[in-house]
Structure 1
């Protein structure tokens, strides 16, 4: 942030210096050398644009590094993270969540989350899911469910769920942790 402030201050300083130079020129000089004045103004703008470009490049590099760092934290977290859309499809899942449910982390595959809820708990899950999606509350819902992996094995999971609006679409953010085997 400090470097960003320095860049802004440099551009302001450069602009003020250029404007002071233009203001100090008499009207007679302006009439006598309009091409030189235009060239000067264009050079000032060129320098400003180059400085802005350098700053954008620096910010882009910093944002890319931050994005990669947080993507890795998300992907390799010890807790499963899922984004479930309003139709109950798994839109996003990290590596831990995919391993826990026994599914591929394939963006084109969007299985319904209820497929992984054990039959005995499906009605409870469905009610809680609709409640979270319809109430548009940001309160955290914590619940325990019996879950089924894709291979049919059962486990007990703790879920923390929170409703969010991502763009125009409501989603449910879910963290899932195995707390026991059934």
Structure 2
């Protein structure tokens, strides 16, 4: 304990040396606490930015587990499906695929979940909202692997209804 003590400090009484060392240690701890506080604030700001970018993105972000249940969804995805986000977690994503696309969705879901590559897959499906309204959605899918959890499917969902409508109007001219 006295290895780093100067000659002047050695002349002090043992409790004075100990008191000095404790004071130095206290100052060092206060500096570390301040650095941790700054790091914590920076991490909170980064998290808040991520949440804003995720939730208020113009596209729907959805994570689906291997049972085809929604495990995560952003506000835009919930709005596209016409359901409150809290009510979508653990709901089957396929219930929003229109009946005529169910078989195709199921086979593509199974194929994408088996694919161990990181290739993304893109599909267009007719979707049915909870209120019965249908829309065409472009789904960009990628399997996500994790060391401590089963694989998931990450989707980007974009409402392409206006594009489909413009194509239909163009072809009818």
Same fold by TM (over 0.5)? yes
8 Å contact kept, 2:69–2:89: no
Q: Offset at 1:55?
A: 0.8
With 117-126 and 46-55 compared, the bigger mean Cα shift is at 117-126
Structure 2: gaps of 5 or more residues: 166-173
Q: Which portions of structure 1, spanning 4 or more consecutive aligned residues, are displaced by more than 6 angstroms?
A: none
Task: Provide the C-alpha distance between the structure 2 equivalents of 1:63 and 1:121, rounded to a whole number of angstroms.
Answer: 43
Partner of 2:169: none
Partner of 1:175: 156
C-alpha distance after superposition, 1:135-160 (max 9, x if no partner): 23221111111111111222111011
Task: Provide the C-alpha distance between the structure 1 equivalents of 2:105 and 2:112, rounded to a whole number of angstroms.
Answer: 10
Aligned with 1:106: secondary structure? helix
Aligned with 1:152: secondary structure? coil
* Residue from 40, 55, 65 that aligns with 1:85: 65
Task: Provide the C-alpha distance between the structure 1 equivalents of 2:133 and 2:10, rounded to a whole number of angstroms.
Answer: 87
The Cα RMSD (Å) is: 2.4
Aligned with 1:42: secondary structure? helix
* TM-score normalised by structure 2 residue count: 0.82
Partner of 2:7: 25
Task: Provide the C-alpha distance between the structure 2 equivalents of 1:79 and 1:109, rounded to a whole number of angstroms.
Answer: 18
Given the superposition, is the C-alpha separation of residues 117 and 108 from structure 1 closer, same or farther in structure 2, using an over 3 Å criterion? closer
8 Å contact kept, 2:70–2:88: no
Structure 1: gaps of 5 or more residues: 1-18
Aligned residues: 161
Partner of 2:168: none
Matches within 5 A, 1:1-182: 22=5, 24-25=6-7, 29=10, 33-106=13-86, 109-166=89-146, 167-180=148-161
* TM-score normalised by structure 1 residue count: 0.78
With 111-120 and 99-108 compared, the bigger mean Cα shift is at 99-108
Task: Provide the C-alpha distance between the structure 1 equivalents of 2:13 and 2:106, rounded to a whole number of angstroms.
Answer: 78
Task: Provide the C-alpha distance between the structure 2 equivalents of 1:94 and 1:110, rounded to a whole number of angstroms.
Answer: 14
